[in-house]
Each structure stands twice: as structure tokens, then as C-alpha cells.
Chain A
Amino acid sequence: MGFSLYSLIEAALLCVNAVAILNEQRFLSKINVNDQNYPGAGAYGNDHQNAGGAKQQLLTLIRSVRTVMRVPLIAFNIITILFLILFG
């Protein structure tokens, strides 16, 4: 119940860290193999956006988060570690 804004920031940072350190070979390629055999049957018009549905979207999201947040995450982590060392 006693949530503060800082704990939200910490939780978000930990979640993004977790997404960033997923191993491509072991984990993501397994999900990819199951998915790409069905490249959205009947992909015309609006259904094309719905190709593969939730899994494709999730994979796209994970891939884009990893690409975008690799470098800023290093900075955020260093700042958070410094804060925790200095202010406990």
C-alpha cells in the first residue's frame, strides 16, 4: 500500500533490465520459429495489421525496447546504483 514514486521508478527500471537481458538464441528464436510459419493468412486490408496477432506485437515490442533502450539503460543503471550507494 505504501507505494512511492521511487519504488515505481525502481520497478520499471528492473522490468526494462529484464527485457534487455533476454538471450536471443535460447529464448526469442524459439518463439519466432513457432510464429513465422503462419504469416497472417488472408492478409489483405485491415487483417494485415492483425497478422500473427498478439505474439507478433509482443515480439516487435521486445525487439524495439531492446534496440532503443540498450545504451540509455547503462546510464540509468549507473545513476541508480550511485543513488543507492549514496542515499541508501
Chain B
Amino acid sequence: MHSADDPVHRSKNHFHPSTAQASNGYEGDYTVPHTRSAPSQNAFFSPQSAFYSSSSQQTIPTNQVASSMELLSNNPFLNVGIKAVGDSMKDITGKTVNMLPNEMKKSLSSIKDYFAVDQIYVMKKLSLLLFPFRPRNWSVGYSADGPVPPRVDTNAPDYYIPLMSVMTYVLVAGLVLGTQNRFTPEQLGMHASSALVWNIIEIGLLCLTFYILNIQSKLRTLDLIAYCGYKYVGMIAALSSYLATHSLFVYRCSLLYVSISLSYFLIKCLRLKILPDTSGSHTYNANGNARRVYLLLAIVLIQPLFIWYLTRHLIVT
């Protein structure tokens, strides 16, 4: 990425700090982009200066680099242009967001809460997905306005892990195909769009089932999307065990273990949300209870099916 050849490439890389600052206001106190942009500016000079051995050659390329970058960053026309584009984008998105109904506006802003994770949460959640069998408290804290951010409560669902694990799944699938000499770059795009399409189908069918069976539960659609995304972690685990050992037996064992642990995890998480509250004031009839149990079982059983289906074409006996 930091190719030492072209000033144009270097100047393109230099644009990132300004756009990162424009988007930081949106991301709030998520501080990683700050620290990522600063070393990249220093990194321009150190490989460049390390590449050229003699001191005289050292000064000339760095001077050229410095002057070209100063030219581009101090150029008033470019600054005005960048600012104009940024403002118009904010304008357009502001107008389209204001046209949406109120409920969608609230869910759009609450999506930000799902991404408010930190490292401790990610470590805990990943270890929980792979080994949920220790006795613990599974209830999620209650917040009146929107979802509980995962930084506060470990049991809350998030979008970071599913998103990252989908991308990692595509890459690991590419790796597995590569070891079998079946890899072409189109496979990556095909796997990504397949994962997206199957996710859309699954969530659409589940929402439809919730509606048809007339089940009012505390589970929001956004939470359901997060819970359906946790199976990709298991898929990555099964695929990497196959990648490491190339043995069908190990793959099947890890598939079984991942399915069991994911099912246990999902039952424990969703039980409190879908099944009726025994201490509540509503008295649900027996049909409603049975339907909820069946729906919970359906959700939990679909996940291992998907894990098996989306990985089986990568396995060659």
C-alpha cells in the first residue's frame, strides 16, 4: 500500500486523514481512526528514507515528497472542493433521512449503538460463542431508549462480530479454495454475495414467521439480525480446523461441536426474549406458548443447517 514509486499514490493515501476527521464526528468516541491515521503519515518517510542508502539521495526524495504533499494539502482549490463535496453529501443524506418515518429514524440512529464495542466485549463474546457451557447470567440490561450498547452489557447483541466474521468467512473460504487449487478472484465475490443473500433470505423468512404466527416478543428485528450473524464465527472455526488438518473427521467433529455450542448459546440468549415472561401480567394462551417454543426451536435449528450448507462445498473428500 505504501508503494515507494509514485507521488500520486502517496498523495492519494494522504487524503485519508481529512476524510477520517470528517467521519469521526459521526462515530463519536470510537478512537481507533485517530491513532490509525497518525502513524501512516510518519510511515511515509521512514520506508522512503530507509530505502535510499546515501544521505544526498535521502534528502532529495523526501524533499520531493514533502513538497508534493504540501502542494496538495495547502492547495486552496482542493480544500474548497473537498469541503463542498462533504457538505453536499451531508446535505443529501440529511434530507433523505428526514424523509423517513420516525420509527426508521430511531432504528437508524440506534444502529450506531450496536457498533459501540470494545476489545473486552469482543473477547468475552467470542469465548462465549465457542464455549457457552459455564453457568452464568444471560439476561440483558434494560434501557428505555433503544438497545443497550454492548460496551455496557456483555450479553447485548452487537453488529461488529457478525460483520467481521462474514468478511473473515469470505477470506477463509478463499484460502480453503486456494489450497485445493480451485481459487479464482470471482469466487471471493460469489461467496460474499451468497452469504449476503442467504442472510437476507433467512432474516426475511424469520420476520415473516414472526408476523404470521402473531408473536409479539421483546426481540427487535435488529437484534435478530445480530443473532443470526453469530453463526459465521462457528463457520470460521470449522473451516480453519479443516484447513489446518485436511481431515474430514476433524471437520465433522468441529462442525458438531460448533453447532452444539451455537445452539446452546442461542437458546440461552433468545429464551428470555421470545418465550413468555412467567411473572408478567399477560396470560398467554397455550397456543401462543407452543408457537413461541416452536419458533425458538426453528431459529436454533436453522443455524447449524446453514453452517453445514455454506461450508460443505468447500470440503473435498
Interface residues of A (CB under 8 A from B): 1-5, 7-8, 46-47, 49-50, 53-54, 57-58, 61
Interface residues of B (CB under 8 A from A): 190, 193-194, 196-198, 200-201, 211-214, 216, 282-285, 287-288, 313
Contacts A/B (CB < 8 Å), 11 sampled = A1-B313, A3-B193, A4-B190, A4-B193, A8-B201, A49-B214, A49-B216, A50-B285, A53-B287, A57-B212, A57-B213
Q: Are A50 and B190 in contact (CB under 8 A)?
A: no
User: B194 is contacted by which of A2, A46, A54 (Cβ under 8 Å)?
Assistant: A2
Complex CA–CA separation, A33 to B190 (angstroms): 47
* B interface, over-half SS: helix
Q: How many A-B residue pairs have CB under 8 A?
A: 42
Complex CA–CA separation, A86 to B201 (angstroms): 28
**Further 7 A-B residue pairs, CB within 8 A, beyond A1-B313, A4-B193, A47-B285:** A2-B190, A3-B198, A4-B197, A8-B200, A46-B284, A58-B212, A61-B211
Complex CA–CA separation, A61 to B211 (angstroms): 9
Q: Are A1 and B288 in contact (CB under 8 A)?
A: no
B201: A residues at CB distance < 8 A = 8
Q: Are B285 and A61 in contact (CB under 8 A)?
A: no
**Residue with the highest number of chain A CB atoms closer than 10 Å, among B197, B216, B285, B287:** B197
Complex CA–CA separation, A4 to B287 (angstroms): 39
Q: Are A54 and B212 in contact (CB under 8 A)?
A: yes
Complex CA–CA separation, A8 to B284 (angstroms): 37
A61: B residues at CB distance < 8 A = 211-212
Q: Are A57 and B211 in contact (CB under 8 A)?
A: yes
A49: B residues at CB distance < 8 A = 214, 216
Complex CA–CA separation, A1 to B216 (angstroms): 34
Q: Given the interface contacts A1-B313, A50-B285, A50-B288, does A57 sit within 8 Å of B214 by beta carbon?
A: yes
B211: A residues at CB distance < 8 A = 57, 61
In the complex, what's the smallest C-beta–C-beta distance from A25 to chain B, in angstroms? 24
Complex CA–CA separation, A11 to B193 (angstroms): 15
Q: Given the interface contacts A1-B313, A2-B190, A50-B285, does A8 sit within 8 Å of B212 by beta carbon?
A: no
A54: B residues at CB distance < 8 A = 212-214
Q: Given the interface contacts A1-B313, A61-B212, does A50 sit within 8 Å of B287 by beta carbon?
A: yes
Q: Are A5 and B193 in contact (CB under 8 A)?
A: yes
**Residue with the highest number of chain B CB atoms closer than 10 Å, among A2, A7, A57:** A2
B284: A residues at CB distance < 8 A = 46
